Amino acid sequence: MFKYSALLALVTLVPALANAQSQVWGQCGGNGWSGPTTCVSGSTCVKQNDWYSQCLPGSSNPTPTPSTTPTSQPPNPPSSTSSSTITDPTPSGTPTTGNPYTGHEIYLSPYYAAEVDTAAAAISDSSLKAKALKVKEIPTFIWFDIVAKTPDLGTYLKDASEKGKRENKKYIVQIVVYDLPDRDCAAKASNGEFAIANDGENKYKDYIAKLVTEIKKYPDVRVIAVIEPDSLANMITNMNVAKCSGAAEVYKRATIYALKELNKVGVYMYLDAGHAGWLGWQANLAPAAQLYAQIYKDAGSPQFVRGLATNVANYNALRASSPDPVTQGNANYDEIHYIEALAPLLSSQGFPAKFLVDQGRSGVQNIRNEWGDWCNVRNAGFGARPTTNTGSSHIDSIVWIKPGGECDGTSDSSAPRYDSMCGKESAHKPAPEAGQWFQAYFENLVKFANPAL
Ligand code: BGC
């Protein structure tokens, strides 16, 4: 990688010097970041956490206001005079029957588009660059992994609302709610900003309230949310890990709180449910169904809870042509088998769950040494495109949840968030911190995309 970077640096020296500033919404700092540390005019580099600084619109305001619109992204920026924000909406209170994706366009994340633009600018091979640029037209979820990003949701919703009015269309903004206290309890790579020991549960409630405040303002935009990747799945298999058993009650309470609050503002929700190689093992299916059904009931069977999301940030196929040898005889060797095994167990307990399945990085199969490999799996490719044409009545949509190119975890063994899974033979190295842009990884996702880009 070092050699490769040096070569890349030579090849791209001139354009890099001419363009040594990050775009609005682009990264501009953080531990391990070697890209530009200044922002284009009209935006300011704001530290979000030790690992991430971002160019936010505005000259020196530390947090963008919801009324600020991106200056260079997305395409067709809305006119600043056309705001018709409704401040005290009454969402209908009744969810649509059927698939919430139906009849809606999906809003493209300006944040991801800026990451992809910057990435494409650093690619000299013109065919690869053209393919890379296509990725920004494919909808991916927007992760709210720190409370400081919550005002951005208002910016996106406002933009989606105005686009919808201009184009006479209805938009969906797809988000991931991801900030539980003691987050990522069985791993280290994505440990979060809140600690249970430091009032984390209340801080989480405040984080949810901030999301709700933004969502309330734009009732004409539909929000679809994936709730807390990995958290409840850890409650099934990782209770032997002290941080997980210690967090269990808070995870459950906080999840129920999030479901209730987001239900009030009409957010269609899918709880994260691990993947086939995690909860899809026979011994885990019934306990998993019981936990999800219980959480759903304890939250008052919120009408906008639509179901579960599987394979988030993982690499499994929806329908594998043959079982990957690493699946070791598990009858549920891909996501469709897992979903079909889990769905009846949920329904029989009163949770008639529908599913979303992440296929963003599932284009290439049989690339892992063990099914449990989850960190920056080498030679992965972008996968099936988002579609509601899923071939299964259980599945609302194939989606891209993990933004391909953002890292799963650092390979720097001296970093506090180093997880040994990211140092394994199957993991692409050297890798930056979780969530940071990983250029070499992105380029491979583009190269190995299946279907091709
Ligand atoms: C990281 C988050 C990031 C998300 C999406 C997670 O692994 O911890 O910071 O937002 O991936 O890339």
Beta carbons of 171 and 106 less than 8 angstroms apart: yes
The predicted pLDDT at position 82 comes to: 32
Give the rounded distance of the alpha carbon of 134 from its chain centre.
19
What pLDDT was estimated at residue 17?
A: 33
Whether the predicted pLDDT of 451 surpasses 70: yes
**pLDDT grade for 128, boundaries at 50, 70 and 90:** very high
Q: In what order do the strands lie in the sheet with 52-57?
A: 27-29, 52-57, 43-49
Average of pLDDT values for 206-217? 98
Q: Is the CB of 109 under 6 A from ligand 1?
A: no
CA distances 226 to 255, 317, 366, Å, are: 12, 19, 27
Find the farthest-apart pair of alpha carbons in the chain and give their distance in angstroms, rounded.
63
Residue nearest to atom 12 of ligand 1 (CA): 435
Cα 144 to ligand 1 centre (Å): 9
Mean pLDDT score, 154-161: 98
Can you tell me the distance from the alpha carbon of 176 to that of 406, in angstroms, rounded to the nearest whole number? 14
Question: How many Å lie between the centroid of ligand 1 and the Cα of residue 165?
Answer: 32
> What is the arithmetic mean of pLDDT over 122-131?
98
409 CA closest ligand 1 atom index? 7
Calculate how far, in angstroms, residue 16's C-alpha sits from the geometric centre of ligand 1. 26
Q: Give the least confident one: 60-69, 238-247, 326-335.
A: 60-69
Q: Is the CB of 190 under 6 A from ligand 1?
A: yes
Residue 33 banded pLDDT, cuts 50, 70, 90: low
pLDDT at 298 over 60: yes
Mean pLDDT of 159-167: 98
Name the residue with higher pLDDT: 356 or 68: 356
Do 268 and 100 meet the contact criterion of CB atoms below 8 Å apart? yes
Does the structure show a pLDDT above 70 at 342?
Answer: yes
pLDDT (mean) for 304-332: 97
Does ligand 1 have an atom closer than 6 angstroms to the CB of 143? yes
The reply to whether 199 belongs to the active site is no
Greater pLDDT, 72 or 445: 445
Arithmetic mean of pLDDT, 305-329: 97
Q: What integer best gives the mean pLDDT of the chain?
A: 88
What is the structure's pLDDT at 52?
67
The per-residue pLDDT for 49 is 60
- pLDDT at position 51: 63
145 lines ligand 1 (CB under 6 A): yes
Query: Residue 86: pLDDT above 50?
Result: no
* Whether the Cβ atoms of residue 335 and residue 279 lie closer than 8 Å to each other: no
- Tokens 């900003």 belong to residue: 193
Ligand 1 centroid–CA 401 distance in Å is 10
Q: Whose CA is nearest to atom 6 of ligand 1?
A: 435
Q: Which residue in 145, 152, 159, 230 is the catalytic one? A: 230
Q: What pLDDT, on the 0 to 100 scale, is given for residue 88? A: 37
Q: Does residue 435's CB lie within 6 angstroms of at least one atom of ligand 1?
A: yes
Token pair belonging to 386: 């988002």
Tokens of 219: 């009732």
pTM here is: 0.83
Tokens representing 253 are 């309470």
Give the pLDDT confidence score for residue 58 in this predicted structure.
72
Structure tokens at 205: 């409630």
> Please, which pLDDT band fits residue 96 given cuts at 50, 70 and 90?
confident
Q: Which two tokens stand for residue 430?
A: 């050297």
Residue 251 near residue 235 (C-beta atoms within 8 A): yes
pLDDT, residue 261, reads 98
CA 253 – CA 63 distance, rounded (Å): 29
Task: Give the closest residue (by CA) to ligand 1 atom 11.
Answer: 435
Q: Check whether 392 has a pLDDT greater than 60.
A: yes
**pLDDT tens readout for residues 242-291:** 999 999 999 999 999 999 999 999 999 999 999 999 999 999 999 999 99
pLDDT at 87 over 80: no
Question: Does the pLDDT at position 85 exceed 80?
Answer: no
Is there a catalytic annotation at residue 230?
yes
Number of neighbouring beta carbons within 10 Å of residue 59: 8
Q: Degrees (nearest 5) of the Cα angle 257, 310, 102?
A: 85
Residue 443, Cβ density class (10 Å: 0-12 exposed, 13-18 middle, ≥19 buried) = buried
Does residue 188 line the site of ligand 1, with CB under 6 A? no
User: Which among 112, 107, 109 has a CA at the least distance from the CA of 132?
Assistant: 112
Q: Does residue 212 carry a pLDDT above 50?
A: yes
Does ligand 1 come within 6 angstroms of the Cβ of 419? no
Catalytic member of 152, 184, 272, 396: 184
The number of the ligand 1 atom at minimal distance from the alpha carbon of 192 is: 8
Contact between 355 and 306 under an 8 Å Cβ cutoff? The reply is no
What is the per-residue pLDDT for 79?
A: 30
